[in-house]
Structure 1
């Protein structure tokens, strides 16, 4: 009896098409021609005797059978990648590409400057750095690693806590001279407050004191932005107060351009985490990057200031 092996290549290609929603994007990521990708999916559809995709000139979408097959395809692809990575990991030299997602301001100021040292130490590794404050879907978008600054919710993802990230209410000396200095969170209702759009409940700030007592206050102000660094110019100009992470305001606090308020109160704690997709095995290139970032970021001045 003749046994026909599954078309693993077609399954892997279909997994990328399903995840990206596009033949062209999948082809670019896989370094294949669009025709090769399209033929592989057609080949798989012929084997399964059912259409997996609705194709129009404007968009691509999964059929009902395609949605069921996409989960299987992703599992097949991950299993193949893990098997290959485990074999490659027998070599002491990490190699290959790592897709890394990092929040915008943190990535520009604190991650990108570290990458030359990492790439010099690991010349056979390349890094695809994605910067965005919006949270990415690691599994659906094909990322190997993400740095997240938050109180993490439970999920399927693997997480490693690197360090606490302290947040402070800050303002310019000129602002405090003009508007006064809040002594209690409730005082913020009378102040101009600059908002960070990705902060849950950006217009309702929560605080804890040393005893664990909690206060929540509704705030208003002249500026809201979806990037915390975008608030810096307005803070320095004395337009209002903001809750900012230590890694953004560390230098401004040290120079006196900004000052902290409400010393007895702090927003609920958050931390810097390395997050990876589920699975027991990590390629050597991913482990190398995680270990490097862990060492360097936890030694940063803003992290040391929190520890102190």
Structure 2
């Protein structure tokens, strides 16, 4: 039986990650010619092209796109195995790449990470804050924080607990336009929409009733936090998680409405790429974040690792 060309698979994964043969060569410390030969060798063995090559651009073929995630998994498992062996003899050290939503990251994660690095000076963290949907495997993240209702996939999810979602407006808006008593009435109101959640707003209510409303209004943004100034000024109604609007509700600057209705449930998760092997430093950070981030959630049945995942190319 012919053994798989693991070196070629790993080099292919690196080319995909760095988006060029030159970038992969610099990252790995091999010549561009060696990189090119390895990819060609893999293509010959597979009997299919992995890249479209022109003088100006390198792009994945459809077959290449399908195989890129498997290649990234092979490379990740190999790196994790080597790092686990090293970490067994040494204090955890090295780089952890992490992705998280902008608001949650700024409000809670940055301080937690500072404390973690102070306690583990051998560990470096590269934190990517964005509400943009990311493919954590293709972009090489070790951990991603997600606030979402996650459909099945090959990634692993540690569910930390539920996240409360509020339907809110400023008192001045409600005084001016009236308070909706049924979600269907939201179609008559100005709505401030979070654009990373596509499609209509959906609500469940008394007796199992379900309502879908397509929001329309003067302002929408791909960051929930960006909607707050418009909300406070009374420009509309929004549906946002407690960690964004909780302080305003407590201060009275925003008022929850439609108490008998709720948006689809979402939860706070820690996501990792597929596979059971992780460097010790990643497990250390996962356990640390589990303890501290669970405090943001209402009482739940506790964290657990499950084969689960994310929206296509990730979620908030």
TM-score (norm 1): 0.85
> In the alignment, is the contact (CA less than 8 A) between 1:20 and 1:141 conserved in 2?
no
Q: Structure 1 residues 64 and 256 mapped into 2: Cα distance closer, same or farther (>3 Å)?
A: closer
Q: Which has the higher contact order (CA 8 A, sep 6+)?
A: 2
Any idea what SS the aligned residue of 2:208 has?
coil
* Structure 1 residue 133: Cα displacement: 1.5
CA distance in 1, matches of 2:189, 2:257: 12
SS at 1:90's partner residue? helix
In structure 2, relative to structure 1, the CA distance for the partners of 1:46 and 1:220 (3 Å cut) is closer
Structure 2 unmatched ranges of 5 or more:
302-316
Query: Deviation of residue 43 (structure 1)?
Result: 3.9
- Does 1:270 pair with 2:270? no
1:246 aligned to 2:242? yes
Do 2:81 and 2:277's aligned partners in 1 also have CA atoms closer than 8 Å?
no
State whether residues 54 and 63 of structure 1, in contact with CA within 8 Å, keep that contact through their aligned partners in structure 2.
yes
> What secondary structure sits across from 1:207 in the alignment?
strand
Give the distance between the partners of 1:184 and 1:52, measured in 2 at CA: 53
Q: 1:86 aligns to what SS in structure 2?
A: helix
Q: Partner residue of 2:310?
A: none
Report the alpha carbon displacement of residue 20 of structure 1 after superposing the two structures with TM: 3.4
Structure 2 match to 1:41: 35
Mapped partners of 2:70, 2:154: distance in 1:
17
Matched position secondary structure for 1:162: strand
Q: Check 1:258–1:52 CA distance in 2 against 1; reply closer, same or farther (3 A cut).
A: closer
Please provide the CA RMSD for this pair.
Answer: 2.9
Bigger-Rg structure (1/2):
1
What 5-or-longer segments of structure 1 have no aligned partner?
Answer: none
**Structure 2 residue 209 is matched with structure 1 residue 213:** yes
Shift of 1:92: 6.2
| Cross-structure match for 1:237 | 233
User: Relative to structure 2, which stretch is displaced further, 269-278 or 215-224?
Assistant: 215-224
Which secondary structure does the structure 2 equivalent of 1:111 belong to? Answer: helix
3-state SS of paired residue (1:249): helix
- Alpha-carbon deviation of 1:90? 1.2
TM-score w.r.t. the length of structure 2 is: 0.83
CA displacement, residues 137-190 of structure 1 (integer Å, 9 cap, x when unaligned):
122111111111111000001111111111111111111111111111122122
Aligned counterparts of 2:61 and 2:184: Cα–Cα separation in 1: 53
Q: Distance in 2 between matches of 1:205 and 1:63?
A: 36
Q: Secondary structure at the match of 1:106?
A: helix
The 5 A counterparts of 1:1-16 are: 11-16=9-14
Alignment of 1:154-193 (within 5 A): 154-193=152-191
